Chains A and B, each alone.
Chain A
Amino acid sequence: MILYDYILSPDAYKVRLLAALVGVKLELRAVDVHPGREHQSEPLRALNPAGSIPILIDGDLILTESAAMLVYLARRAAAEWLGGDDAVDAARVQQWLAFSRRLTEHLGGARATEMLLEPGDLPAMQRASTIDLRELEAALSERRILGQSHLAADRPTIADIACFPYVALAPDGGVSLDPYPSIRLWMRAIRMLPGFIEMPGIHRLHDLKPEPVSPAMPETV
């Protein structure tokens, strides 16, 4: 499987992250998005007329939407990542996959404008991002009250992977995550997954290892 990749693209990172979590080996092709704008070059537009990154190729199959790539990887390697089979669970996964497009547009747009100087209406995208984050915070709080840590099932699914990167990188676009405790706990749960990989701006959990407990001085003292 070949992934046309960019190290700073959260959409490409989603695919790399799920591949790492389910143990699929990807052949990465680095695309000079910034500053070279290679994703809009003729050869890449021939693969993806939309001129966006990532692109996943497996034999005759060409995928240009990251949500579809997540479905494909999960179905090929680890179907439990697709979530439950009943109507509610299946629809819930689809709901969050579609929701993740809003994150790409709003949080992703704010990040590209604020960090890489792409044109865009930064205040409008930041306001829209806040509405998205409040909706996500409310949903995750509700899940937590039900005793669950993830968006669409009692285990992580592609819904979590689809939403995680742009949310975690919200500060890159000048959007703070301080007001959202449930989102922060959910991000920590994702970063704790065995096989988790990082991307620039999303650090691994080594800063959060538990404090060592000394037998001579129990924690309760």
Chain B
Amino acid sequence: MSETPGIPAPPEEPSEEQASRIGVDSWVAETERHGRGRGPLWQLARLWEYSPDPVKLLAFVALASTVPFWTNEGDLFVFGLFTLLYAALGLGLNVVVGFAGLLDLGYVAFFGIGAYTYAELSSSQYGIHWPAEATIPIAMAAAALVGVVLGFSARRLLGDYLAIVTLFLGQAFVFFTGVANPTVAGKGLTGGANGIPQLDPLTFFGYQLTSTKQLYFFLLIVVTLLATALYFANQSRTGRAWRALREDPLAAEVMSIPVNRLKILAFVFGAAVAGLCGTIYAAIETAAVSTNFSVSVLIIIYAVVILGGFGSIAGVFVGAIVINCTLEFLEPQNDHPEVKRWLFYGTIVLLIALLKPWFRPVLVLAGTIAFGFVVHAIVAATTAASWTSGVPVSGASWLARWAVIPTGSHGNFNNYLYIGLVVAVVCTASLKGWWRMIALVPTLYLTALVWENMLTQNGGITAFILFGAMLIGLMTVRPQGLLGTARVEIV
């Protein structure tokens, strides 16, 4: 630190990784990445990377179509059906955000428009029972029409303002359907907070899709068609123009690319896909309820696309599987309560294992285990028995010897634990080198305590805490997502 007042200390020399990589474009970043890494895992990753996209899709479809034969009905519903639904939604959003680079925060509104259109046209609400081959195109057209209107009105707006207009559209939609509920033909148009119940099942030319298996295969076909269409769209002139638009709208315009038309096209494409998903979702749930189209759903769809990587079709599938399984395992009522514990600790150990060099993760994990026993022994020796007499929810009772789990109520103990964890994470992230490793030990132990004492009981909330943290972390560490292409700004 410089002692002279008024003159700030010279900035630290940036390390190799942190130094800004000016002048390195995405192609260079890609080839650089290819040069690194060894080992069987790397070979597998290379094999995946070099296999053409249609092969990847075929592999996925082949694998996915076996799922109904080795899972039960309930699991197929929550894991299979919803993963496919999120994948379809993610594919649509990927066009808007990933290909064209428009931040569309009203995507769920289009999803909701699809669902409500289906609900109006195929239920006892107004006694209209049209078949799905009529309602699905109408719903898609309705969503696309709103998309066109919004797209036209927002076409002059620069990036951020589009995000605002669409976000407010989403909010206005939820309020309109859930609260305002105007009276049309003697009935509330949207059924208010209760929504529209008892929708017809999907019926195509007299053939009803009622069982989970039928719906699953129908969705699989839809997702496959969508992914194929997107693959070809991405390869086409339009796809290239979208990418150009995403990288630099101004330069694209100078290159005589019709920027506005392409923006609206991407927007409408996303809206129509969301509308399609909405009809299927409404038919699966047999109801359209406004709370299902709130921002929480938006964040889930965004998490799907971002985890997989902007603009990557394969990434959407990976994101959908990871996000939906996380959500479902964290649900308090799911049938596999012990799985979520292993997933949670497994993910943490995996993340720690990414630390380099190799002995750091070993030391940190060993330190955490030892630290836990020491803390447990101290707490057991100095406080009343009720502080350590608790057992973890759903099995793994041996954990109670390592983690401090009180029984009964201990004031705000849990809340202090949670706030302590957040502070510990912030401190750990601001430390450097070995200090960070040392700080990791109590942080990890606190994480385990918070998980055992609070999070396992509050699955739904935990999911959103994790998603929020994931979005921040991913943007900081790997903004391109798991399978996205690295992009480096050219100055």
A associates with B: no
Binding site for B on A (CB under 8 A): none
